[in-house]
């Protein structure tokens, strides 16, 4: 009787997991990232390529407001290179007489928003608001694999699909109708380091760069975690030996 | 010279005569507190819960130094903690995942109490204070999740506070009162921050009462029988050393998640800033609320759903009397043990159902699981006490159990 009850309960649980598996949509493209796993690190050259893609392709519509130019030293740039890069941007300021002026960017500035305000952004993009990209890989199920897939997910809509005006078909986008047109194609950018710019390569580089933008402390987290785990492991072993030694007193009695 | 007391010894005695804090601790968790010698590793979870409370309060204090409770700045201030505050990412991930691990520990602690009958006489008040701690934890965790002001923060707050509107006549005024306005907005965020900082100290006070109430009858044990003085050992060094080992073992799991999968238990939508104009397609609470969320949605009527959800916790207050069996430990209750493990499986099913859209198979399973949840307490517990034949209890902890005649 007990076995029957437990078997029924097991069947009950199993149907739940089966239902869960049936729900999955189109499977995302998966890639081995250098930052995967407990010891993963960013590939600095890849991040530099990704930065180039962001600046040459994405930045015309998308902001990256939580990333400051000074953060770019993490990509392997020197402070002088960062200063020079920041100076390519202009920011509004007020001078000592109170007049509106523009000044050059400094390492303390953040990447500027390409639009003066959200309404302007919507009006320029057929009503759609291009989201800020600083946290994109943490704000979507699938993380960097989602961005990687989305960049390569544009295709002709299947017959019978009615696209709304100005929308594009992307098989990985929830609902498949996305405001952003296809951005990435082969040789879209010419990489400074000579890497061949296939659409797949560009998609991987921008996804890795955006994951760095979303989780800039990832390397410190992995490295600290390794040290903490070794420390806790030694503590646990010592505590176990101590506990055994103390409890051995009871058996002697 | 050797008989003369050192200056430290004299200072210590001078202080103990005026405030005997060392003796107090020694009687509470030291050499003067006798505990049954047969406690298994499930008894580690009380001290682990205390550890997690300390971790949450400490990390929380440092987060509060850098957090801004304003709807236009909260999200940005959390990102500043993650990026620019020294070790801010570590403090925040310890706090966010700490909430999950606090609930894991407390759920094991509660299930241990259910299995070994720790709620039965003379430990009813101890059990009640435990439920109050659980309720205070739920309120604290809910309000804490609102503070980052992401999409799930905002919409979770909207859904849960709206539950109070199910109360007839005074429901809507209560919701307005909770919000401090006519929607979840800046006043809501401000009061949630204030209460989120207050409640942990209420929990700390309740923990003090919980430990006090524990010291009157002393710890229960896996056999569920009264422990004779000869079967007790001093808490220190025996259980302090055992708890230290358990703490190390637990921290391996906790820090593995903090450092290597810190967002695994969170929802991606909470990295999108709150937007009152965009409702997420699927609003789900944190995993530790899912069983109760499933009960809420299993019932087609809003008011009855809310009643069932709160009833699912409040029923715990009366189980010392719903359970009619005098035998505490499930080890000696062959049938209760089966229904107990079914209850554990049922809780897992409810958790899963809570994460699904309430339609089709998950809704039906949620309903069946909700029924079993209440049947377990309201029917099985009282009836089983009458009809079940328990196995013979040992005379004492040291005496081996006699095998019943074949």
Residue A12 CB burial class (10 angstroms; 0-12, 13-18, ≥19): middle
Q: Say if residue B72 is in the same domain as residue B200.
A: yes
ipTM score? 0.91
pLDDT exceeds 50 at position B406:
no
Calculate Rg over the CA atoms of chain B: 24
Give me the catalytic one of B37, B242, B302, B391: B242
B27 in any annotated domain:
no
Cα torsion B380, B385, B388, B394 to 10°: value is 130
Q: State how many domains chain B has.
A: 2
Check the CA dihedral B37-B43-B48-B51 and report its sign: negative
Cα nearest neighbour of B257 on chain A: A225
- Decide if B79 and A220 are in contact by the 8 Å CB cutoff: no
Other beta carbons within 10 Å of A54: 20
Q: Which residue pairs from B21-29 have beta carbons closer than 8 angstroms and sit at least 24 positions apart in sequence?
A: B26/B236, B28/B211, B28/B215, B29/B235, B29/B236, B29/B240
- Closest to B79 in 3D by CA, of A77, A48, A110, A93: A110
**Full pLDDT tens readout for chain A, 253 residues:** 555 555 555 554 544 444 444 434 589 999 999 999 999 999 999 999 999 999 999 999 999 999 999 999 999 999 999 999 999 999 999 999 999 999 999 999 999 999 999 999 999 999 999 999 999 999 999 999 999 999 999 999 999 888 998 899 999 999 999 999 999 999 999 999 999 999 999 999 999 999 999 999 999 999 999 999 999 999 999 999 999 999 999 976 5
B8 in any annotated domain:
no
Q: Which fold has domain A34-67+110-241?
A: Cytochrome Bc1 Complex; Chain D, domain 2 (1.10.760)
For residue B247, which residues of chain A lie inside 8 Å, CB to CB? 239
Please tell me the predicted confidence (pLDDT) of residue A16. 45
Q: Say if residue B220 is in the same domain as residue B308.
A: no
Nearest to A139 among B83, B272, B338 (CB): B272
Does the active-site annotation cover B183?
no
- pLDDT tens, residue by residue, B126-154: 999 999 999 999 999 999 999 999 999 99
Whether the ω angle into residue B237 lies within 30 degrees of 0, i.e. cis, is: yes
The distance of Cα B191 from the centroid of its chain, to the nearest Å, equals 23
Distance CA A223, CA A37 (A): 12
pLDDT exceeds 90 at position B373:
yes
List beta partners, residue B2.
none
A157-182 b/e with 16+ CB inside 10 Å = b?
eeeeeeeeeebbbbebbeebbbbbee
Q: Say if residue B273 is in the same domain as residue B342.
A: no
B161 in any annotated domain:
yes
B44-65 mean pLDDT: 98
Return the CATH number at B183. 1.20.810.10
Q: Say if residue B59 is in the same domain as residue B91.
A: yes
Q: Which domain holds residue B158?
A: 36-224+245-283
- Decide if A6 and B82 are in contact by the 8 Å CB cutoff: no
CB of B361 within 8 Å of a chain A CB? The answer is: yes
B332 in any annotated domain:
yes
């Amino acid at each position: 009787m007990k076995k029957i009850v437990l078997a029924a309960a097991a069947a009950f649980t199993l149907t739940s997991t089966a239902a869960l598996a049936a729900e999955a949509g189109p499977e995302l493209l998966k890639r081995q990232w250098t930052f995967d796993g407990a010891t993963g690190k960013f590939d600095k050259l890849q991040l530099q390529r990704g930065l180039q893609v962001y600046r040459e392709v994405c930045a015309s519509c998308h902001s990256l407001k939580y990333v400051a130019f000074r953060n770019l030293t993490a990509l392997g740039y020197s402070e002088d290179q960062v200063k020079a890069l920041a100076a390519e941007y202009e920011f509004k300021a007020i001078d000592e007489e109170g007049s509106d002026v523009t000044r050059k960017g400094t390492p303390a500035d953040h990447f500027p928003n390409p639009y003066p305000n959200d309404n302007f952004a919507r009006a320029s993009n057929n009503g759609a608001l291009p989201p800020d990209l600083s946290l994109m890989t943490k704000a979507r199920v699938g993380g960097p694999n989602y961005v990687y897939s989305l960049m390569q997910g544009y295709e002709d809509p299947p017959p019978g699909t009615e696209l709304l005006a100005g929308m594009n078909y992307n098989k990985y986008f929830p609902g498949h109708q996305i405001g952003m047109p296809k951005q990435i194609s082969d040789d879209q950018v010419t990489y400074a380091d000579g890497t061949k710019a296939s659409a797949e390569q560009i998609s991987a580089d921008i996804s890795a760069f955006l994951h760095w933008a979303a989780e800039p402390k990832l390397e410190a987290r992995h490295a600290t975690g390794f040290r903490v785990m070794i420390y806790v492991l030694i503590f646990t072993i010592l505590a176990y030996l101590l506990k055994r030694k103390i409890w051995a007193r009871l058996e002697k009695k | 010279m050797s008989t003369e007391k050192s200056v430290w010894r004299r200072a210590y005695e001078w202080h103990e005569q005026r405030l005997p804090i060392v003796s107090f601790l020694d009687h509470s968790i030291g050499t003067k507190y006798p505990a049954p010698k047969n406690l298994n590793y499930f008894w580690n979870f009380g001290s682990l819960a205390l550890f997690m409370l300390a971790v949450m309060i400490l990390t929380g204090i440092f987060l509060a130094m850098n957090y801004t409770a304003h709807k236009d700045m909260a999200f940005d201030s959390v990102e500043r903690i993650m990026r620019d505050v020294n070790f801010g990412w570590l403090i925040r991930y310890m706090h966010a995942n700490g909430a999950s691990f606090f609930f894991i520990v407390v759920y094991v602690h509660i299930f241990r109490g259910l299995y070994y009958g720790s709620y039965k006489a003379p430990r009813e008040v101890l059990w009640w204070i435990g439920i109050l701690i659980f309720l205070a934890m739920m309120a604290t965790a809910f309000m804490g999740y609102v503070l980052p002001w992401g999409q799930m923060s905002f919409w979770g707050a909207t859904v849960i506070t709206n539950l109070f509107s199910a109360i007839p006549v005074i429901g809507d005024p209560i919701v307005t009162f909770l919000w401090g306005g006519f929607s979840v907005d800046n006043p809501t965020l401000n009061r949630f921050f204030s209460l989120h900082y207050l409640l942990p100290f209420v929990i700390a006070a309740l923990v003090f009462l919980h430990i006090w109430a524990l010291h009157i009858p002393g710890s229960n044990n896996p056999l569920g029988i009264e422990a004779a003085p000869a079967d007790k050992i001093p808490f220190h060094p025996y259980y302090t050393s055992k708890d230290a080992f358990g703490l190390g073992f637990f921290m391996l799991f906790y820090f593995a998640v903090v450092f290597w999968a810190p967002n695994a238990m969170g929802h991606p939508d909470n990295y999108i800033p709150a937007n009152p104009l965009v409702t997420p397609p699927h609003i789900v609470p944190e995993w530790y609320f899912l069983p109760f969320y499933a009960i809420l949605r299993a019932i087609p009527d809003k008011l009855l759903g809310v009643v069932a959800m709160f009833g699912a916790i409040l029923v715990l207050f009366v189980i010392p009397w719903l359970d009619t069996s005098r035998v505490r430990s499930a080890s000696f209750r062959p049938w209760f043990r089966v229904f107990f493990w079914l209850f554990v499986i049922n809780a897992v099913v409810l958790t899963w159902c809570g994460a699904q859209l309430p339609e089709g198979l998950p809704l039906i399973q949620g309903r069946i699981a909700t029924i079993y949840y209440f049947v377990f307490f309201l029917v099985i517990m009282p009836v089983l006490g009458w009809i079940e034949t328990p196995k013979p209890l040992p005379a004492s902890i040291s005496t081996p159990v006699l095998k019943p005649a074949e």
